[in-house]
């Protein structure tokens, strides 16, 4: 029969059937068993560990002298994406893990051929010690940061040491007390305990003089049980299947369907659906202003998905503030902009082998469909309505807390330049134990010209931000502890709260924040009250803070 409307081309998530299986590039092998984790919040804060400095850990055998116990055949870096299918590579699976020699063999069994998994190789260099290598982003030779893999055949008593040998970034929150995450299947099943921070002697340091991407992360850990199945990860995973399961739940909620429409924005290169949610109450849509939110341009920044999850949980709830927000605004939300990258366990790129958040200015529809269609959608919206806020959710690997990058091009009048700083200041007041206003930056750098934040700002959205969420945690309000899933989700709620403050018809809060920003900037410049500062460049405004951070993230 003939195809119906576009809705038939894209099967949308439904509560009645399991999530659609993701499409994988044909180079990727995928194991059949589904991987799913429970959500859990530790009852006590998880403090940062005492940093052990940058010194080398005790000497270990080199990789050359060790035994390879897991090795996936690499995708040649010069190759590029050709095609994808459900289940990835056709034919029987290879056996990348070395087989055990019997019950007395204590070698760990490694696996990463599942959604968002990333491990290329494991070398056993001691009875309980392994050197690991991550797979670079597909079709590139770099961007190693995200890791997520499974180990089986654990033993409870020994102290194990893991060293990831090919990380790309010269600095990391692992140098400042951040610890990796461990998940024990047995603890999840028997005690309801999920992902937790583990590791002593966590060190991040420059490796030997081999390839350029030679920074190392090393940690020691004891496993909670003998013969357990455990996972390690850089941050709480949130996969494409997790998103589809969540959207299926929304589809099964009749109340929710009245004010939340789930559509396909487009298909990714691999043929995975990029979803667009439109959330607003049916009444009075004509004059409503629009809020545009997105997450997971960078697939390794899973913290962005948890913040987005918290945002959607609140906005779709029966809370009076959520009702008010749906009455006041139309929300256009793209919860996972780069599903292919998320599926294959990339850190930064899509299957085009490039960073989608540098492609907004020049994006070709064929190379970056998600970015191209999001931008086109915003252009259509701007032709009819005001967009009051654009915010893209990211993760940050070198600074703790949550902060924003905004856009002050230095050419607007002082009033507008102040106003662009108000939303982040309000957010810092609503989440004082997580959000750092002094860490926010508003400079528009040439190297960031292709980011969503800068391009949307040039299109006319003056409140255009990247929200950066640390992979580590908070150093604010007497906290010195890692972010939990509850912390990450609460950011979504705080964003809602701040939107109501920012758009409050009684301008008292706005006025107070405007004068506070004005005072803060004057203090920074050493200027008198009443003297203008609209002539001051953004570089000067920010030069008194740590300028060396300006080259990071987004």
Q: Which residues are catalytic?
A: 468
Give the tokens for residue 258. 């009245």
**Could you please report the per-residue DSSP string of 387-400?**
EEEEEEEEEESSS-
CA atoms within 13 A on the CB side of 22: 30
Nearest to 118 by CA among 139, 133, 98: 133
Write the DSSP symbol of residue 546: -
- Non-local (6+) Cβ contacts of 450 within 8 A are 357, 358, 359, 360, 361, 362
Q: What does the alpha-carbon distance between residue 394 and residue 348 come to, in Å, rounded to a whole number?
A: 11
Return the structure tokens found at 406: 């905004």
Strand partners, 118: 148
**Residue 233 near residue 148 (C-beta atoms within 8 A):** yes
Crossing angle of the two packed helices 240-251 and 303-315, in degrees rounded to 10: 10
Distances (CA, A) of 280 to 248, 253, 332: 19, 16, 9
Collapse the DSSP code of 158 into the 3-class scheme (helix H, G, I; strand E, B; otherwise coil) and give the result: coil
* Number of neighbours of residue 514 by Cβ within 10 angstroms: 17
Looking at the DSSP bridge assignments, the partners of residue 97 are: 70
Could you give the CA distance from residue 370 to residue 368 in angstroms, rounded to a whole number?
Answer: 6
Max Cα–Cα distance, the chain, nearest Å: 80
Which phi and psi (to 5°) does residue 467 adopt? -95, 120
d(CA 406, CA 417): 10
| Separation of alpha carbons 17 and 10, rounded Å | 15
Residues 6+ apart with CB under 8 A from 332: 276, 277, 278, 290, 291, 292, 293, 377, 378, 381
For residue 191, the SS3 value is helix
Contact 484, 472 (CB under 8 A): no
Please say whether the beta carbons of 400 and 173 come within 8 A.
yes
Measured CA to CA, the distance from residue 450 to residue 459 in angstroms comes to 12
Q: What is the spatial distance between Cα 422 and Cα 408, in angstroms, rounded to a whole number?
A: 12
């Amino acid at each position: 029969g003939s195809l119906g409307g576009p809705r038939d081309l894209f099967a949308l998530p439904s509560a009645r059937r399991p999530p659609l299986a993701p499409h994988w590039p044909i180079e990727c092998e995928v194991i059949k068993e589904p991987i799913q984790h429970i959500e859990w919040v530790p009852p006590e804060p998880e403090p940062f560990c005492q940093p052990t400095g940058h010194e080398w850990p005790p000497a270990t055998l080199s990789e050359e002298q060790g035994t390879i116990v897991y090795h996936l055949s690499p995708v040649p870096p010069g190759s590029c994406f050709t095609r994808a299918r459900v289940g990835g590579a056709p034919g029987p699976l290879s056996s990348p893990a070395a087989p055990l020699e019997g019950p007395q063999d204590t070698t760990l069994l490694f696996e990463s051929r599942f959604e968002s998994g990333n491990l290329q190789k494991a070398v056993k260099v001691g009875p309980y010690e392994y050197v690991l290598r991550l797979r670079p982003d597909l079709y590139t030779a770099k961007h190693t940061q995200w890791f997520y893999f499974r180990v089986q055949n654990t033993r409870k008593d020994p102290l194990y040491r893991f060293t990831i040998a090919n990380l790309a970034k010269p600095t990391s929150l692992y140098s400042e007390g951040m610890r990796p995450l461990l998940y024990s299947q047995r603890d999840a099943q028997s005690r309801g305990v999920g992902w937790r921070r583990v590791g002593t002697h966590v060190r991040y340091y420059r490796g030997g003089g081999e390839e350029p991407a030679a920074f190392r992360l090393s940690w020691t850990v004891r496993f909670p049980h003998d013969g357990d199945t455990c996972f390690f990860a850089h941050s709480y995973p949130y996969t494409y299947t997790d998103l589809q399961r969540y959207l299926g739940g929304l589809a099964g909620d009749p109340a929710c369907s009245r004010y939340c429409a789930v559509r396909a924005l487009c298909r990714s290169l691999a043929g995975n659906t990029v979803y667009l949610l439109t959330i607003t109450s049916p009444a009075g849509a004509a004059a409503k202003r629009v809020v545009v939110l997105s997450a997971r341009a960078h697939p390794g920044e899973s913290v962005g998905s948890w913040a987005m999850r918290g945002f959607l949980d609140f906005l779709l709830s029966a809370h009076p503030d959520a009702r008010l927000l749906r009455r006041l605004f139309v929300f256009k939300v793209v919860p996972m902009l780069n599903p292919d990258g998320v599926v294959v366990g990339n850190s930064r790129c899509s299957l085009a082998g490039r960073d989608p958040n540098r492609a907004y200015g020049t994006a070709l529809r064929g190379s970056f469909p998600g970015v191209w269609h999001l931008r086109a959608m915003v252009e259509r919206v701007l032709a009819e309505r005001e967009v009051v806020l654009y915010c893209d959710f990211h993760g940050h690997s070198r600074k703790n807390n949550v902060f924003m990058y905004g856009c002050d091009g230095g050419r607007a009048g002082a009033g507008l330049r102040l106003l662009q700083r108000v939303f982040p200041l309000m957010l810092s007041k609503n989440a004082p134990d997580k959000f750092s206003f002094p860490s926010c930056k508003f400079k528009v750098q040439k190297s960031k010209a292709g980011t969503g934040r800068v391009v949307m700002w040039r299109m006319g959205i003056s409140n255009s931000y990247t929200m950066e969420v640390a992979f580590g945690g908070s150093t604010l309000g007497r906290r010195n502890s890692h972010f939990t899933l509850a912390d990450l989700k609460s950011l979504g709620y705080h964003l809602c709260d701040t939107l109501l403050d920012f758009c409050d018809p009684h301008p008292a809060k706005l006025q107070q924040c405007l004068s506070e920003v004005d005072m803060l900037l004057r203090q920074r410049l050493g200027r008198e009250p009443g003297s203008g500062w609209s002539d001051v460049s953004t570089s000067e405004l920010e030069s008194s803070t740590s300028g060396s951070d300006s080259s990071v993230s987004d």
